[in-house]
Amino acid sequence: MLSGFNTNIRHRGVLFHVQSEDSGVGHPHIITHLFHGGNIMFSEKSSYADYVDDPERELRVKELMEGQHKTVLKRLRAGDFDDTIRERLGPDAMDDADTRAEARAVETDPVVVGTPEPAEEAPAASGRFGESIVSEKPLDEVILNYLVDNARSKRRRSPGS
């Protein structure tokens, strides 16, 4: 199983998270989710069953996963999911102003997120810098929690809610 790709991208003033992952040879498919606030807005699933016995399977799967990830990012920026997003988040959820500058400002290359090597031994709590922000949670869970908290705080701040 390969490491996944994760990208945070702002589209029409709304922060989204795109995540692509390999389900492994036992379930040979790649799935890409478009998230907002922990909710899945769109999913795309592709099989790579034809490559299971290929000697270059890892390379082929990585290329497929990266291509699918970038395609979902491009489709988001092109507005392909705007109707679905408005349907789920409300008609005023997104800023309809021109987003070309916004799209340029956001890094769109996928960030590879792997499984970290296990630490030899966790240091004892001693009031060290950063102690309160270190988490044992997986990165995906930390990111999704952040997105949910961010969306909730925006809803509390928005007028008329």
Sequence-distant (6+) residues with CB within 8 A of 121 are none
Reading the block at residue 129, the tokens are: 């810098």
In angstroms, the Cα distances linking 108 to 30, 54, 56, 90 are 19, 30, 27, 26
Using DSSP, state whether 102 is helix, strand or coil: helix
Residue span of the structural domain in which 90 resides: 4-117+126-157
Q: How many structural domains compose the chain?
A: 1
Instruction: For 126, list phi and psi in degrees, rounded to 5.
Output: -145, 25
Per-residue pLDDT of the chain (161 residues; tens, 9 = 90+): 677 889 999 999 999 999 999 998 899 999 999 999 889 999 999 999 999 999 999 999 999 999 999 999 999 999 999 999 999 999 988 887 644 444 444 444 444 444 433 333 334 444 444 444 444 556 666 677 778 777 777 777 666 65
pTM, full prediction: 0.61
| Distance from C-alpha of 12 to C-alpha of 154, rounded to nearest angstrom | 15
DSSP 115: P
10 near 16, Cβ under 8 Å?
A: yes
- Any bridge partners for residue 15, and if so which? 10
Kind and range of the H or E element at 119? Answer: none
